Amino acid sequence: MKIRDVRLTPLMTEAESISAGPGAALVEVETDEGITGIGEACIHSERGEAAIAAQKIVEIGFKPLLIGENPLDVQRLWLKLYSYCEWYGRGGVAIYALSGIDVALWDICGKALGVPVYTLLGGKFRDKIPVYASLLFDMDNPEDTAKEGKKYVIQGYKAVKYGWGKTRERAFGMNPDEDEEMIRTIREVLGPNIQIMVDVGRFVNLTPAQAIRLAKRLEKYDIFWLEEPLPPEDVTGYKMLSDSVDVYIAAGESEYSRQGFVEYITRRAVDIIQPDVTKAGGLTEAKKIADMCETWNLMMVPHGFSSVVNVAANLQLVASMPRAFILEYRRTPSPLISKLAKKPFTYEDGYLKIPSEPGLGIEIDYSVVEECSIKQ
């Protein structure tokens, strides 16, 4: 089997806010045996420009390196592309694009061998995984924000995460009194038995001292984890924060490649490591990061807030992780979550079932790709 074409399609949707992930990039690797692998590069840029940059990298840079290659040689091809990233810098958009190709190669392997990807990752530990409803803060409307989460609690979700804010100007983490009122309202509306996660996100960069104070203020509302309150570069700050508060500290969606996680893991700077399969280097790299977390006895909860392809890749990964215990499930509305796959995932009482069809187990609806593709 040989690769005969590689494509990246930049996608953009109408979204309620810039933090709702309006963009994404669908990656396809086509073989000469009629199998096409599907992947995603998680690219949310507000005007689609990062996905267009990734498209150039894939179609001008990576494609000539892949044509004629055997798609089953996933790790060799990963290294071949990673070495070529020298010209782009070994991170950012280039490694997002590489992640998309890597996921597509794993999808091909599964389809060619007639097994789900988790079998190729070492086999499964579970058939289903608890998911948390992943939502956004509306800092102007604590009541509405809380009621949005309650909708999912009524559907059986046992955990809800809120993040960021609708705009750069009105984000969580800017005003401690408003932050506390927001979390107090959410706890009151969701009730005592629901896990609540708080994702400060990338509109705000707190110092360790500010984050410690915030975490301590929120402790009385029994927050399960506090995510990304510090700039991703401040690993020492994360270590200080984790050592100073009871609430779990989570981070990792802004890192890429296993090297990006080495310090976080080996210094035990956070409690929960959150690589994104479609940003950090694909399933190849995410599996290595998961193995590092297992070795250092840390929790890992993969990040995923873009499309159904991201969720599908995450489901295969968590199936193969010995101690995976929860997965992110974006519930802010987007056709990339609700319509891009022909068949929805099976959700039941707080769990997503892990697809057992060959490869990633999803089929793309190309009418949605057509509808959402950026016309250049």
User: Using CB under 5 A, which residues numbered 68 to 107 contact Mg ion?
Assistant: none
- Please choose, out of 33-41, 55-63, 194-202, 316-324, the segment that lies near Mg ion by the rule CB under 5 A: 194-202
CB of 315 to Mg ion, least distance (A): 19
**DSSP 8-state class, residue 91:** S
Q: Extract the tokens encoding 296.
A: 């250092």
The DSSP bridge partners found for residue 341 are 364
| Tokens 């309202």 sit on residue | 185
Q: Between residues 106 and 132, which has the closer beta carbon with respect to Mg ion?
A: 132
CB-nearer residue toward Mg ion: 134 or 316: 134
Shortest distance (Å) from residue 276 CB to Mg ion: 9
Binding positions for Mg ion, 150-189, rule CB under 5 A: none
Q: Is residue 1 a contact partner of residue 31, using CB atoms and an 8 Å limit?
A: yes
Question: How far is it, in rounded angstroms, from Cα 335 to Cα 341?
Answer: 9
Listed in sequence order, the residues at least 6 apart from 47 whose beta carbon sits closer than 8 Å to its beta carbon are none
Residue 162 CB, shortest distance to Mg ion, in Å, is 10
316 DSSP β-pair partners: none
Q: Which stretch binds Mg ion (CB under 5 A): 134-142, 199-207, 230-238, 365-373?
A: 199-207
Q: Is 230 or 368 the residue whose CB approaches Mg ion more closely?
A: 230
Residue 165 or 355: the one with the smaller Cβ distance to Mg ion is 165
In 3-state terms, what secondary structure has residue 318?
Answer: helix
| Rounded Cα distance, 173 and 168, in Å | 11
Q: Are 372 and 13 in contact (CB under 8 A)?
A: yes
Total of chain residues touching Mg ion, rule CB under 5 A: 2
Q: What is the DSSP string of 166-206?
A: SSSSSBTTS-HHHHHHHHHHHHHHH-TTSEEEEE--TT---
Nearest distance from C-beta of residue 197 to Mg ion, angstroms: 9
- CA 259-79-121 angle, to 5 degrees, is 80
Q: How far is the CB of 163 from Mg ion (least distance, A)?
A: 5
d(CA 181, CA 179): 6
Min separation Cβ 154 and Mg ion, Å: 24
Interface with Mg ion in residues 237-266 (CB under 5 A): 253
Of 82 and 164, CB closest to Mg ion: 164
The least distance separating Mg ion from the CB of residue 372, rounded to whole angstroms, comes to: 23
Residues 122-141: x where in contact with Mg ion by CB under 5 A, - otherwise, as a string: --------------------
- For Mg ion, which residue has the nearest CB? 199
Nearer to Mg ion, 28 or 253 (CB): 253
Q: Give whichever of 40 and 253 is closer to Mg ion, judged by the CB atom.
A: 253
DSSP result, 240-282 = HHHHH-SSEEEE-TT--HHHHHHHHHHTT--SEE--BTTTTTH
199 binding Mg ion? (CB under 5 A): yes
Which residues would be at the binding site for Mg ion (CB under 5 A)? 199, 253
